[in-house]
């Protein structure tokens, strides 16, 4: 089917054609009638087979032709930004597109002005909890990467959000996009949707297993390669010589750096002068906005045409790498498996060096699930550029060749399972159901559970005992009460709106009600002890060091040392994370923090962002139980948000001024916004980190301070590029 024949406006067709799309792929053609007719749909298609276009067509039809609203739910913030870029193309048709991430305690009234809202599943769930008025106008809901209901940490949130949407707005069309999983038909049954499944790809995928300089392909062909310095080099060299790109998946961050560094001289040989110039520009930009060894090492590799991509990088670094790879400047990237989850960055050849990774719950290196490996392999082959994509697994030993071949090349992906029955999911979502008056009786909870994916796999009676135990916990902790019916207490309602785990709220409440006033580290340690904080790893040697330090502060900490060995280890890991946050608010330079704790700038940002959220929640809980501590927690929230001491609170409100530039201004004698405004650009540009352009902007009299602060807030809400950009 040609785009010209679609039942949408000519203007919409022109926007689609402007992307070079003239004809639908076969799987798109099979599903498009259901989409345009308004049927619920599940599309279980491989990577790059056109699922997103089907979602966009649903949005165009529902929003532009029928005058409704669409909600696009994504699992990752990076994916949200990518979808925003895609959907912005349709704004010329009169469709306003907005994005909402983070700040779960804010119903964000401005969202009612948008026709399409892109949000993470957590943000979508929080909007439901706040009962925002525009939800009733939704007539299209997109669930991207819906197979992630299987995720141990976040899957239940997506499941509950879609289940609530079905109940609250049954007329809204749901379009769910999935990887090719074994039981996608069960998702379709759950969502009352038409099931579309296909293995078709726009680029042929040639898969194989490599060992001892030989590839055994899935079609039976075998190929001998000229040996190089290692498996990755042997596999990558022929591709790089042909002017193509390689994407290599390895199990750890450390490996991403070491493998990428090993390949620099090889990749450098194949770069043109124009490519070298383009890479230098990217590297210089990254280096100019980085104060850490991670950023400097990354920039050095990029100049040679290689890069590494992992969660330790900040948003700006990741974005620049992805852009340079898509522009075909970077030729070789190493990544941890997280890159495979939704980011559009295909390569001519994909190499999966490690088919195992460390599993913290199991405590050892475990095989990566088939579904994840298949997503990695699916990144091979760029539509419009390649007629073939090559995806190779590396077998460390000869006996592993057949194992990997059978498991990953010939085997089916795992069936996904509901995570609703886990303890954290039950206590969080049961409180939400009661607090939003969705369920007032135990029987109504079971009726709601009948609407979830869980009911597709288990009888509801099997969860009844866990539900009762969870309700007892919520009642004991005074989050819920039961007289004639179940209802949230004032505390319970606030906890639900704050979007924190009820167990986190209990720990915070106990600290707030404690007779101790506490130090900064006391509050930081408390939030790090909550289930909502993912704490830093600590070795046995480190645990001893942090135990000694914690013992010296024992009288000031709100929670005493636990006796259980496992609980003590978690207690000390929380203490280590709290010390990182303390360094942050004391304005310790980012590179020093990164080196001291053995982490990257992205890790610092993640910990700071979570701490900001939990401290805000703590201040709100303190309003109910201890007004004196509320002031302390409010101040601490601001310090963590900006990474500063109290005397910089005013200066960090300025546009493009963060912790580093604010301290630079303060040291030069500019202590208030007014003093900065009165300074001349010539005076300001001499200060470290300011520069000519910013100096002119800061001292610009006609650009009102109100606008500068407004610009700053707008910038931070769209996702800070780096903690030390400013």
Tokens of 354: 């490690």
The DSSP symbol for 646 reads G
The DSSP symbol for 214 reads E
**What's the average pLDDT block by block, 10 residues per block, for the chain (726 residues)?**
94 93 96 98 92 96 94 89 92 94 85 95 93 92 96 94 93 96 96 96 95 94 93 96 95 94 95 96 92 90 96 89 94 85 81 89 85 92 89 95 94 93 96 96 95 93 93 98 96 97 98 95 98 95 96 96 96 98 96 93 94 98 96 97 95 91 94 92 90 86 50 44 35
pLDDT (tens digit, 9 = 90+) per residue, 653-663? 998 899 999 99
Q: Tell me if 253 sits within 8 A of 261, measured CB to CB.
A: no
Q: Tell me if 343 sits within 8 A of 336, measured CB to CB.
A: no
- Nearest C-alpha neighbor of 309 from the set 78, 562, 27, 96: 78
Q: Would you state the pLDDT for residue 701? A: 53
Q: Would you state the pLDDT for residue 383? A: 85
Superfamily in which the 204-409 domain is placed by CATH: P-loop containing nucleotide triphosphate hydrolases (3.40.50.300)
Tokens of 296: 């400097």
The total number of residues written for the chain in this structure: 726
Domain edges within the chain: 3-197, 204-409, 420-499, 646-717
Handedness of CA 497, 498, 503, 508 (dihedral sign): negative
Residues 6+ apart with CB under 8 A from 565: none
pLDDT (tens digit, 9 = 90+) per residue, 552-571? 999 999 999 999 999 999 99
Paired sense of beta strands 356-359 and 306-309, if any:
unpaired
Residues 6+ apart with CB under 8 A from 360: none
Cα 94 to Cα 80: distance, rounded to the nearest angstrom = 21
Scan for tokens 């210089």, then name that residue. Answer: 284
Q: Tell me if 621 sits within 8 A of 508, measured CB to CB.
A: yes
Q: Which CATH fold topology does 420-499 show?
A: Arc Repressor Mutant, subunit A (1.10.10)
Domains 3-197 and 420-499 share a fold: no
Helices (H), 450-554: 464-476, 490-498, 502-513, 520-528, 540-552
pLDDT (tens digit, 9 = 90+) per residue, 350-366? 999 999 988 877 778 89
Tokens of 60: 């165009």
Q: Of all helices (H) and strands (E), which one includes residue 234?
A: helix 231-241
Helix axes 565-585, 627-642, angle to 10 degrees: 70
Cα 276 to Cα 224: distance, rounded to the nearest angstrom = 32
Burial class (CB in 10 A: 0-12, 13-18, 19+), 226: exposed
Share of the chain above pLDDT 90, in %: 80
Cα 386 to Cα 272: distance, rounded to the nearest angstrom = 21
357 CB neighbour count, 10 Å cutoff: 16
Rg (CA), the chain: 27
- Domain 3-197 CATH assignment equals 3.40.50.920: no
Q: Would you state the pLDDT for residue 195? A: 98
Cα 179 to Cα 181: distance, rounded to the nearest angstrom = 6
Q: Of all helices (H) and strands (E), which one includes residue 715?
A: helix 705-717
726 CB neighbour count, 10 Å cutoff: 23
Residue 4 CA to its chain's centroid (Å):
36
Q: How do the residues of the chain divide into helix, strand and coil, expressed in percent and rounded to 5? A: 55, 15, 35
Burial class (CB in 10 A: 0-12, 13-18, 19+), 319: middle
Cα 149 to Cα 154: distance, rounded to the nearest angstrom = 7
Architecture of domain 646-717 in CATH? Orthogonal Bundle (1.10)
Tokens of 374: 């298949």
Paired sense of beta strands 222-224 and 214-217, if any:
antiparallel
Paired sense of beta strands 69-74 and 246-249, if any:
unpaired
Phi and psi of 309, rounded to 5°?
A: -140, 115
Q: Would you state the pLDDT for residue 710? A: 46
């Amino acid at each position: 089917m040609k785009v010209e024949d679609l039942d949408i406006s000519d203007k919409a067709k022109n926007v689609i054609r402007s992307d070079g799309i003239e004809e639908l792929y076969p799987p798109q053609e099979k599903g498009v009638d259901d989409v345009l007719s308004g049927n619920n749909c599940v599309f279980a298609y491989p990577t790059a087979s056109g699922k997103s276009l089907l979602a966009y067509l649903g949005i165009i039809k529902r929003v532009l032709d029928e005058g409704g609203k669409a909600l696009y739910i994504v699992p990752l913030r990076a994916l949200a930004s990518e979808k925003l870029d895609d959907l912005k193309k349709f704004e010329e048709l009169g469709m306003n597109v907005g994005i909402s991430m983070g700040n779960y305690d804010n119903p964000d009234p401005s969202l009612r002005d948008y026709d399409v809202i892109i949000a993470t599943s957590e943000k979508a769930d929080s909007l439901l909890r706040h009962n925002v008025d525009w939800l009733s106008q939704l007539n299209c809901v997109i669930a991207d990467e819906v197979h992630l209901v299987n995720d141990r940490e976040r899957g239940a949130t997506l499941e509950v959000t879609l289940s609530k949407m079905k109940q609250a707005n049954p007329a809204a069309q749901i379009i769910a996009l999935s990887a090719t999983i074994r039981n996608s038909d069960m998702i379709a049954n759950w969502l009352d949707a038409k099931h579309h499944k296909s293995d078709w790809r726009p680029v042929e995928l040639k898969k194989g297993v490599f060992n001892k300089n030989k590839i055994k392909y899935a079609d039976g062909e075998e190929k001998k390669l000229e040996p190089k310095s290692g498996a990755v080099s042997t596999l990558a060299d022929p591709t790089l010589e042909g002017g193509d790109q390689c994407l290599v998946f390895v199990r750890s961050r450390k490996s991403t750096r070491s493998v990428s560094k090993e390949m620099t001289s090889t990749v450098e040989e194949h770069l043109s002068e124009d490519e070298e110039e383009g890479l230098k520009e990217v590297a210089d930009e990254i280096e100019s906005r980085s104060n850490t060894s991670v950023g400097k090492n990354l920039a050095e590799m990029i100049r040679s045409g290689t890069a590494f991509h992992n969660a330790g990088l900040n948003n700006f670094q990741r974005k620049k790498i992805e852009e340079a790879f898509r522009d075909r400047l970077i030729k070789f990237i190493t990544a941890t498996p997280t890159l495979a989850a939704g980011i559009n960055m295909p390569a001519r050849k994909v190499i999966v060096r490690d088919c195992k990774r460390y599993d913290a719950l199991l405590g050892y290196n475990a095989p990566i699930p088939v579904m994840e490996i298949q997503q990695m392999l699916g990144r091979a082959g760029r539509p419009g550029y390649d007629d073939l994509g090559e995806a190779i697994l590396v077998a460390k030993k000869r006996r592993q060749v057949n194992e990997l071949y059978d498991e990953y090349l010939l085997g089916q992906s795992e069936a996904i399972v509901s995570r609703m029955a886990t303890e954290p999911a039950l206590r969080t979502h049961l409180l939400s159901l009661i607090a939003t008056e969705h369920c007032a009786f135990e029987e109504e909870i079971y009726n709601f559970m009948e609407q979830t994916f869980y009911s597709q796999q288990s009888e509801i009676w099997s969860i009844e005992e866990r539900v009762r135990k969870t309700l007892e916990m919520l009642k004991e902790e005074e989050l819920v009460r039961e007289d004639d019916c179940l209802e949230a207490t004032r505390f319970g309602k606030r906890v639900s709106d704050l979007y924190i785990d009820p167990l986190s709220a209990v720990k915070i409440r106990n600290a707030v009600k404690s007779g101790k006033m506490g130090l900064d580290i006391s509050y930081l340690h408390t939030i790090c002890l909550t289930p909502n904080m993912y704490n830093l790893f600590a070795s046995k040697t480190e645990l001893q060091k942090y135990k000694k330090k914690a013992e010296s502060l024992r009288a000031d900490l709100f929670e005493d040392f636990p006796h259980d060995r496992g609980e003590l280890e978690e207690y000390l890991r929380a203490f280590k994370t709290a010390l990182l946050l303390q360094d942050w608010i004391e304005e310790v330079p980012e590179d020093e923090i990164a080196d001291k704790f053995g982490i990257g700038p992205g890790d610092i940002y993640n910990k700071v962002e979570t701490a900001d959220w939990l401290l805000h929640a703590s201040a709100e809980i303190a309003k109910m139980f201890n007004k004196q501590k509320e002031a302390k927690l409010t101040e601490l929230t601001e310090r963590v948000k900006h990474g500063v001491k109290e005397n910089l609170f005013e200066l960090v409100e300025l546009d493009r001024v963060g912790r580093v530039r604010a301290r630079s201004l303060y040291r030069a004698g500019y202590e208030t916004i007014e003093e900065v405004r009165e300074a001349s650009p010539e005076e300001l540009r001499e200060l470290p980190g300011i520069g000519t352009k910013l100096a002119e902007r800061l001292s610009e009299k006609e650009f009102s301070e109100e606008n500068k602060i407004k610009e700053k807030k707008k910038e931070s809400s769209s996702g800070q590029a780096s903690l030390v950009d400013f």
